[in-house]
Structure 1
Amino acid sequence: MSKKILSHFAPLLVALIILGLIFCWPSKKTIEKPKVWQQASTSMASNVFGGMAIKNPAIASGEYVPFFGSSELSRLSPFHPSVLAEKYHRSYRPFLLGAPGTQSLSQFAISNSLSKELTNKKAVFIISPQWFTKKGMEDLEFNAYFSELELYHWLLSIDQVRDSDRYYARRLLGFSRIKDNAKMSAILSEIANGSNQLSRKQRHYLEYNYQLLQKEDHLFTQIGMLSKEKKINYFAKKLPSEYNYQTLDSLAEKIGQKHTNNNRFEIDNVFYKSRLEFGLKELKNSQRKWNYCQSPEYADFQLVLNQFAQSHTQVLFIIPPVNQKWSDYTGLSQEMLQRFAKKIKYQLQSQGFTDIADFSKDANVRFFMADTIHLGWRGWLRADEAIAPFLAQPYQPTNYHLNNAQFFSKKWQNQENIE
């Protein structure tokens, strides 16, 4: 009988112990352990980039530079930014922020949580064309990477509500994770509908919960954090001891050939075998009507630019291509992709974001891509030719001039062509 009683109440006891730990845990908010930072920097774990206990002090240290992106950051090879920085003893180490499925809304939340650490600093941001779909970020992806801690951080950072805050509040209210929280929905609805600031009662509620979330973050942020450190060291050993672009480019071409020899698209063998081969016939001409020039993602991306402008962050934006051998097969228009690149560059350059590495015209360069949409061996090496000098040069004071009236508008989201 006693065993049955114990088994019945065991989950409750565990829950009470965890709850007690959260309430009683010291209020220290960060983890100051360089070894943990190193492991976390390549993990791409959602509890790391959605938390603040590890990534914030790591980036504040000056040893790590935030690399914002999505699934391309998870594709390791000898030419990945983390490998090149390790092998050639760069003055920086990338801190990878994102995962497959993260888009501008996720990156805004992450960058806002780093607002202090990014002030007068540098960052690298990879813009994926495939984010810019008709619907923009889907509910499933938003919910998967939603960070309550980062939401509370943003709300508590508001002194006077700006147009960017109202836009973000309206966007958040469209996702089920927010709709299911009546209290949070009420706060966001007030912001979206014109309230200029939080009430004292709302701020007290947010501060109390924010402190609990910080303790929870400190306790659990390392759970499930799988470092790619061993893989990075493995790939680094495959590179020559001295950096020479021509030598490395020849090596990248050789490795690319070896890893893409089971298909005609120059797509990584494993990716092709596991993800494409079985349904290949159905994919022919399946993307003819896809259009990345009309999307709410453009306005979501404007949120990110607002945050970088507020923090005076100097950012290198990278625009990758789409594998042309693959797009020719699926019918995805390279002409449309050029219009996408022109539109996103206009949004950047017209507001003073001029550090841009546009590789959208390299779609047909052999082994530039690892698969259909992700930078590969020669692609990452070309990107490094922009990244390394950008990060080697001293920070330059920014001169951003935001035009939110234009770039948050429905007209801009749906504008097809840029004159």
Structure 2
Amino acid sequence: MKKIISLLIPIMIAVLVTVAVNSFLDKKIEVLTKQKDISVMGKKFSDFVKDKSSLDKKLLSDKGDLFLLASSEMSIKVPQNPLKLFPIKGENYDLSGFGRAFSQSLQQANYLGGADINDNQKVAYVLSIQWFEKQNELDPASFVANFSEVQFYKFLNNPKISENNKRYYADRVYNFLTKAKKYSPEAYYAKLYLDSSKFSTFQKAAFKPYYEMKQYLLDVQDKALIYEELKDLPNIADKKQPKEIDWDEEYKKIENENEKLISTNELKLEDNYYKEYLGSTVSKHKGECKSDDLLSAKEMDDYKFFLSVCKDLNIKPYIILQPANGWYADYEELSKDARQNYYEEIKKLSKDSGFEVLDLSQYEYKQYFLFDTQHFGKEGWLKVDEEIYKHFK
């Protein structure tokens, strides 16, 4: 009996301490969200704490921020980047961005479904054609780099999400995690979720205490990490004032700046960028997309999944169809027909779901609309800013 007691006492102490810490964090976070300008947290790009958290998305949703879902294009350091331009005078919301390199449709759906966000949450989603260029463009290592345990469990426990979508998600996650040999408990949980056999039912019951405790501890960890982020934010009294934007004037400024750029290469890119990032290696990209079938890529299934999850959550995302760089796509031999079929399919899927699309495909051959071969530049981002402003007004 003494041995049993000696084992139980440390466990009970650990439980009590964890519960006390959880209560402490709840109170502190409630105070800090009233004192701090939490939209500053929402504008951090490639911040693992922010992107992998569930709690921050609830806080920013409750505050009324618009969510911009995108990937590496948010890293482009131009003043027109929405993370820098917003808030804009005339609107009552700020903007928070979620995503980084290799954050594609599966991950973006998890950002929304893996957090307790509000119905009718404002969402704008930048879709990139390069995600669809290979049959399985998203590899396990890239997926795992952005994987969030706390979002994983919350997604599968979200009562708003349909069983079909949960099973699709569990299957995709299981395959990625097992191939990457990472997050074994989550891979096993996904496997059990998909298995309806009697033996699986027994396993679920046996492991239920472990997984419930793990989810509780992940919630506490999430709160602790967000608490640390909140502490360092500026006070709400020092919040940046919304900008008054004269859109015509902003486009004129960009046009004048672009006239000073020098481009003598066949891809119509700014010469300094071309020399630094392509230069002598450009020939290896010649014809590399000749056999790509954009419409049969697995990413297309993931995009359909994203749309379905949004419908489950009563969210109507504004789909932003980013154009290919026409000259570079031609060099890769990704045909105009293939690109046009991709644009039309994305528009059809989106509109069939009841969602509006900002189709920017007509800018494929607008020089400097993109910063490089695939990311928005000054004019591209300004166009996105303007259309987001109009759409949600």
Class of the TM-score when normalised by the shorter of the 2 chains: 0.7 to 0.9
Whether 1:330 aligns to 2:306 is no
Q: Count matched residues.
A: 363
TM-superposed deviation, 1:320: 0.8
Partner of 1:61: 63
Code of the residue aligned with 2:210 in structure 1: it is: Y
**C-alpha RMSD of matched pairs (Å):** 3.5
Give runs of aligned pairs for residues 3-402 of structure 1, distance below 5 A. Answer: 25-27=21-23, 28=25, 30=29, 32-33=32-33, 35=36, 37-44=38-45, 45-62=47-64, 64-86=65-87, 88=89, 90-114=91-115, 116-132=116-132, 133-157=134-158, 162-176=163-177, 180-194=182-196, 202-221=207-226, 243-258=245-260, 261=263, 263-268=265-270, 271-353=273-355, 355-392=356-393
TM-score by length of 1: 0.76
Of 313-322 and 323-332, more deviation after overlay is shown by: 323-332
CA distance in 2, matches of 1:155, 1:367: 42
Amino acid at match of 1:121: Q
Describe the superposition over 1:64-122 as per-residue Cα deviations: whole angstroms up to 9, x where unpaired: 111011011221312222333246464222100000111111111111123x3231222
Contact kept in structure 2, 1:166 and 1:193, CA below 8 Å: no
Paired letter, 2:153: Y
Unaligned runs of 5+ in 1: 1-17, 230-235, 393-419
CA contact (8 A) 2:161 2:313 kept: no
| Kept after mapping to 2: 8 A contact 1:173/1:179 | no
Aligned-pair identity in percent equals 22
For residues 255-305 of structure 1, the C-alpha deviation after alignment (integer angstroms, 9 at most, x for no partner) is 334456475534356643432124123333333333322211122122222
Instruction: Work out the CA distance in 2 between the residues paired with 1:143 and 1:25.
Output: 29
Shift of the 284–214 alpha-carbon distance from structure 1 to 2, 3 Å rule, reads same
SS of alignment partner, residue 213 of structure 2 = helix
Question: Partner of 1:279: helix, strand, or coil?
Answer: helix
Give per-residue Cα distances to partners, 1:387-408, cap 9 Å, x unaligned.
111121xxxxxxxxxxxxxxxx
- What's the CA shift for 1:215? 1.7
Q: Determine the C-alpha separation between the residues in 2 that align with 1:161 and 1:357.
A: 27
Q: Secondary structure at the match of 1:126?
A: strand
Q: Does the 8 A contact of 2:37 with 2:233 survive in 1?
A: no
User: Higher mean Cα deviation, 310-319 or 296-305?
Assistant: 296-305
> Kindly tell me: are residues 372 and 35 of structure 1, through their superposed partners in 2, closer, same or farther at Cα, counting changes over 3 Å?
farther
Q: Partners of 1:25 and 1:260 in 2: how far apart?
A: 58
Structure 1 letter corresponding to 2:212 = E
Question: Residues of 2 paired with 1:201 and 1:376: CA distance?
Answer: 53
Q: Can you list the C-alpha shifts for 1:238-263, whole angstroms capped at 9, x where unaligned?
A: xxx85333322121222334456475
Cα shift readout 1:158-179 (whole Å, capped 9, x = no counterpart): 5997111111111111113685
Q: CA–CA distance in 2 between the matches of 1:323 and 1:273?
A: 17
What is the rounded CA distance, in whole Å, between the counterparts of 1:158 and 1:200 in structure 2? 20
Amino acid aligned to 1:375: F
- State the match for 2:7 in structure 1: none
**Rounded Cα–Cα distance in structure 1 between residues aligned with 2:168 and 2:41:** 32
SS in 2 for 1:54: helix
3-state SS of paired residue (1:25): helix
Task: Supply the distance in 1 between the matched residues of 2:104 and 2:195 (Cα, whole angstroms).
Answer: 25
Gaps of 5+ in 2: 1-13, 235-239
Aligned pair in 2 of structure 1 residues 97, 182: CA closer, same or farther (>3 Å)? Answer: closer
